[in-house]
Structure 1
């Protein structure tokens, strides 16, 4: 239990201290209907006032006994105690509290009891029929408790539960789960709570017994011990149990060691280490196993092999550089390695298909950013060839944006340097610098104009170009440079119409972009601009290529129309647009949507209606025939109790897609999911991804979940139909249980 069993020590250090000190201070006060306020010394020796009241207060000088009776009330700062009767025997040095005891501490925890006896130095005592309601609404009860030596509390026949014990009508109900123990010991010096002869109950039925259980008390942030195990069954690994062990090494470092046991492939040892070094922090994780070796068809070869992985990341401040060099300096790293291509996915550690490792030194200025980094990649796909994987050693970049100057103009400066090296492939060196200027202007008619100018210069040096990663990306050996000037003028006219309950906006946009036609010489390789996709998000960008190696050459017009409508519940926004290029650049793949003079037509619609509908629709049509090139829908529909998610993607192949530089395949995919809350705490969920192009299911999942204020329980069924060497189609069943405040 997450530290709820400190009853006696709580009374001794807080409430009983207030009672005893107040009564002692009242010894010289004559009997009265109400008492006076007193004061006690806190741990710093300062006077802390106590509000005290009772129906009757007496002090017998012969017996040296002070008695407060009837509605006894004491308050010290945020701590309050009520009782029917309090007796302080100065001779015996005992305080006895009787009747209906009710107390609240400074954290909001509420204590009830029937009888309390404790000595006046608060090192020993006992209490009967304890009840405690914690500020998170968890509850604890015990028949009897004892305080020993001021630092050790023992409770007998105790029960704890964070679950509700009454329903909405105030009727008593059996808690979903509870922990019962014959005895519970709280050692304040060791800061441990220990249970003996403990039973875990679910809905009042015992389900687990343990003779001994120990955990840190509430004052401990974390401590070494066992965490809740993880149970999984899959058709590839068989039955798997993971038993994580947490190690609290010191205040600034900890670790988790997790032994696995799989019925199909033997043991796995995984672990993670974390440390805060003051000026930064880092973490490292990894795993290792020695299973039977499998071939690319998933069959055993008769030999054993080592498989494993290592991941590590960290970030650190470089305060020594901040003052002499200006800005805020730091360095970071994120590195990883896997023993083979399929290990991470087969053992469900990660679904990545490329491990990216990077080390970087960064500077953050008020209006600038600079970095010097080194990158390496480990490709995990079947087509990846290790010798052709690139290393960026190093990559440097710098970016600066000025404050708005005269007439609101903004200047930008960008620089980039890159050295790409391969063990068995093409090597590239690149230096790129550029600057731009942008000036906005609003006319009297409401038209918004934006004038921009930029120029960029690049120098490339290429070697081993006869060994590229693909013919579409190769260059020519030697050194070559280029200059890329560009002018841009954009016009927008936002128009607004207000109605009684609606607001409509209409905005036509036209932009002219002027540039040279020869921006992509054949001698320049393509290392970082291999992905290009024309859609609504980059319709009005100056350069629709990602990266720097490819430049959108020639002059063109970009034009589009935005429309939106807003009401109390309805919100809808639409965009449609296209580009016309004066020069046909053959280096732009036709499949990108930018090939030829006329680009594809791109559109986007976003519609939401209250909490019932949230829809996003995107399309791309051929620029001249208007044939469908991309059709994508994502929607969330339904009331809170029954939500349905739908996704559809259709990318048919056109006649010109077969001549593209990058091989394409038809994609048509349907995604669906739903969650149904069929009872107060129960829900059903499921999702599926289906490939319509070949009529196969890619993956699917279904589950049932129970979740209330103290318990989360779920059973899930997963099915994956992915095949990649020793990764075969797989069925997985997961059982997940989480008990609030336990573990």
Structure 2
């Protein structure tokens, strides 16, 4: 700001001295002058030769690049070396900040000055005001009786802001990039709620700086009262760390930390924690975890990465609120892209955290290599595809498997002149296996080589029709497909590792192999058919599908309740309806082909305007559905939310297991949100238990102050 005034007013003085006749005129039309990079405009220019004072009055405007200064009057006293701007002084900075003042005085070399009644509108629409201010050189500024608030929409403009900070003195040092406050009060709804004789923070130009972060308070039925005081280390522009000591009254100190570093083409993140806490048998021992993530771009085509997730025991992460998952996945990968072609090499290892998980049976997959190539054939849309896969899977106890699989396929899409869409295909899958301790259907184990050659040929056909009636478009699309393949194709010596979980629904009705992986193939001749219906307009939407498949011979490779093992498959479909913006329904189903009883039902509904909106989710899976591993599952989730004012909202939810007639979780939340402040108050009651993780009631309170930070506290007690 002051640099601009110096340059401009110096140029103005030179202009006025060199043109005294025009400068002395008491009344002239508006004048525009330019000197170097500065453009100047005023209604009147005067130069008093005796006093050696240059005065510009009437809509004075100075422009230097993207910086603009406006005032009613600007004067330059050459003898006193004093510049004064008065009356509606406005300075618009290139950054977007706008400064307002009643009067600005600059002395000396224009680097020191005094400002009266300064107001600042920042780019994020936060506001600051002060009775007065002083500038010392280019790098230091002091404000007296200053007020700061980012609030503008939490009340009427004439009212007191929702919250604001008042300080008797604010000192800004640009060299140190620091802002200091003396005798500062924080007011909420006009009431002082916090006082500190001194505090400081980095100025807006600082992106990162070492220092304490906002603390978090809480109460836990297992850990007792907790206090987390994070400290951030700005090690270098490319690396930082956060240390999070967590003090607990029951379990002592938990030390958590995070380290991040970026390179020109890579990044690494390390997270971990540790404590000497109580283990399941009641003794004290080390408990902790370490998570790491690495990503690297090797060049424009190749990238690599790795994630490792380690923990001392099964319940540590959930007990100390670091993670809620029931398994940890460790993996590495290398992948490359070239047009439509893709190559990858990966490795996987899982650790199960459930009580029934046996580490000895967890597989180690290293490596699994995939190669996918697509090449056009001739000048038509025909394509030749090659998919190759190599896998090595080992266990401490149980079956080991090595696999090499190659699938060659020819794709021939075609759209007729009448709009019919055809897709012909032919493929040949060749697999070679070496298995150890592979169990057959009789329970006997074997070790050795095996393999298969499995061809497929088929065609998909669909014929979409559409009709427009007024503003509504209606769609009807019959879909039919046929596939020919040999029966069988799944020798008992091939261990089924990646094709156990089969979920038959409308999304895979037309899949060439409805097993999820490569270890199992779907043999036999079959036909599949379905009907797609839809209707769309500006305010209405509906979409539906129903379909089924028929095979010449039944397939015993699928589980009894999979819906795919008989000649006719189960009937699958979906229905989505949105009659208005306040109502949305979606239903997905699988019906028994013989008696049309439900094998799977999934229903979701959202109804109501923002003032009162209800939600419902219902899921039912018949016994043995899919892979046949689970019994009947039936679950219901329901709740509501209400935006009962511009800033206030409330929500509630319940999740129940209908088969066991048990409640799994309940929750209710209250939220206040405006442009400068957010408050979240939540109550959650859990009814599940896993060893030393007990059912509990938890209260969370989070207060977020724009541009300042957040306050977080929680209280967790045993369920009563």
Fold-level match, TM-score > 0.5? yes
In structure 2, relative to structure 1, the CA distance for the partners of 1:628 and 1:244 (3 Å cut) is: same
Residue 452 (structure 2) aligns with: 482
Residue 607 (structure 1) aligns with: 577
Deviation at residue 15 of structure 1 after TM alignment: 4.3
Q: Give the Cα separation in 1 of the matches to 2:258 and 2:232.
A: 10
Residue 719 (structure 1) aligns with: 685
Query: Superposed, which structure 2 residues align to 1:139-178 within 5 Å?
Result: 139-164=127-152, 172-178=158-164
Deviation at residue 23 of structure 1 after TM alignment: 3.4
Query: Superposed, which structure 2 residues align to 1:558-573 within 5 Å?
Result: 558-573=528-543
> Of 463, 482, 498, which residue of structure 2 is paired with 1:528?
498
Is the aligned partner of 1:52 residue 2:32?
no
In structure 2, relative to structure 1, the CA distance for the partners of 1:142 and 1:381 (3 Å cut) is: same
Q: Give the Cα separation in 1 of the matches to 2:155 and 2:313.
A: 55
Residue 236 (structure 2) aligns with: 250
Q: Give the Cα separation in 1 of the matches to 2:443 and 2:298.
A: 39
In structure 2, relative to structure 1, the CA distance for the partners of 1:165 and 1:440 (3 Å cut) is: closer
* Conserved 8 A contact 1:235-1:730: yes
Query: Superposed, which structure 2 residues align to 1:179-258 within 5 Å?
Result: 179-258=165-244
* Conserved 8 A contact 1:113-1:127: yes
Q: Give the Cα separation in 2 of the matches to 1:408 and 1:354.
A: 44
Q: Give the Cα separation in 1 of the matches to 2:443 and 2:76.
A: 91
Deviation at residue 415 of structure 1 after TM alignment: 0.4
* Conserved 8 A contact 1:476-1:522: no
Residue 503 (structure 1) aligns with: 473
Deviation at residue 445 of structure 1 after TM alignment: 4.4
> Of 100, 112, 127, which residue of structure 2 is paired with 1:112?
100
SS of aligned partner of 2:561: helix
Is the aligned partner of 1:313 residue 2:293?
yes
SS of aligned partner of 1:527: coil
Residue 43 (structure 1) aligns with: none
Residue 735 (structure 1) aligns with: 701
Deviation at residue 674 of structure 1 after TM alignment: 2.0
Tell me the alpha carbon deviations over residues 30-79 of structure 1, each in whole angstroms, 9 at most, x when there is no partner.
22335754556xxxxxx313222143x22233333222234332222332
Is the aligned partner of 1:684 residue 2:664?
no
Q: Give the Cα separation in 2 of the matches to 1:680 and 1:589.
A: 53
Deviation at residue 577 of structure 1 after TM alignment: 0.8
Is the aligned partner of 1:342 residue 2:315?
yes
* Conserved 8 A contact 1:165-1:173: no
Deviation at residue 25 of structure 1 after TM alignment: 3.2
* Conserved 8 A contact 1:474-1:526: no
Residue 441 (structure 1) aligns with: 414
Deviation at residue 256 of structure 1 after TM alignment: 1.9
Q: Give the Cα separation in 2 of the matches to 1:520 and 1:135.
A: 66
Q: Give the Cα separation in 1 of the matches to 2:261 and 2:579.
A: 47
Q: Give the Cα separation in 2 of the matches to 1:188 and 1:726.
A: 53
SS of aligned partner of 2:376: coil
> Of 56, 59, 74, which residue of structure 2 is paired with 1:71?
59
> Of 317, 322, 335, which residue of structure 2 is paired with 1:362?
335
Q: Which moved more, 1:573-582 or 1:11-20?
A: 11-20
Residue 5 (structure 1) aligns with: none
Q: Which moved more, 1:683-692 or 1:71-80?
A: 71-80
- Unaligned 5+ residue runs, structure 1? 1-10, 41-46, 296-300, 323-327
In structure 2, relative to structure 1, the CA distance for the partners of 1:615 and 1:120 (3 Å cut) is: farther
Is the aligned partner of 1:705 residue 2:671?
yes
In structure 2, relative to structure 1, the CA distance for the partners of 1:15 and 1:104 (3 Å cut) is: farther
In structure 2, relative to structure 1, the CA distance for the partners of 1:260 and 1:13 (3 Å cut) is: farther
> Of 273, 278, 287, which residue of structure 2 is paired with 1:292?
278
Tell me the alpha carbon deviations over residues 296-330 of structure 1, each in whole angstroms, 9 at most, x when there is no partner.
xxxxx2x21211111111221223xx6xxxxx122
> Of 262, 266, 278, which residue of structure 2 is paired with 1:276?
262
* Conserved 8 A contact 1:565-1:573: yes
Residue 635 (structure 1) aligns with: 605
* Conserved 8 A contact 1:370-1:399: yes
Deviation at residue 97 of structure 1 after TM alignment: 2.1
* Conserved 8 A contact 2:69-2:90: yes
SS of aligned partner of 1:210: strand
Structure that is richer in strand per residue: 2
Q: Give the Cα separation in 2 of the matches to 1:259 and 1:701.
A: 29
Q: Give the Cα separation in 2 of the matches to 1:473 and 1:75.
A: 88
SS of aligned partner of 2:138: coil
Deviation at residue 92 of structure 1 after TM alignment: 2.7
* Conserved 8 A contact 1:476-1:524: no
Query: Superposed, which structure 2 residues align to 1:374-523 within 5 Å?
Result: 374-403=347-376, 405-465=378-438, 476-523=446-493
Is the aligned partner of 1:100 residue 2:88?
yes
* Conserved 8 A contact 1:474-1:525: no
In structure 2, relative to structure 1, the CA distance for the partners of 1:475 and 1:518 (3 Å cut) is: farther
Is the aligned partner of 1:21 residue 2:11?
yes
Deviation at residue 646 of structure 1 after TM alignment: 1.0
Q: Give the Cα separation in 2 of the matches to 1:184 and 1:69.
A: 33
Q: Which moved more, 1:600-609 or 1:18-27?
A: 18-27
* Conserved 8 A contact 1:533-1:593: no
In structure 2, relative to structure 1, the CA distance for the partners of 1:476 and 1:579 (3 Å cut) is: farther
Tell me the alpha carbon deviations over residues 203-254 of structure 1, each in whole angstroms, 9 at most, x when there is no partner.
1111112222221112222222222233333433333333222222211112
The TM-score normalised by the length of structure 1 is 0.91
* Conserved 8 A contact 2:648-2:672: yes
CA RMSD of the aligned region, Å? 2.2
Deviation at residue 475 of structure 1 after TM alignment: 6.5
SS of aligned partner of 2:708: coil
Residue 7 (structure 1) aligns with: none
Deviation at residue 678 of structure 1 after TM alignment: 1.1
SS of aligned partner of 1:503: strand
SS of aligned partner of 1:344: helix
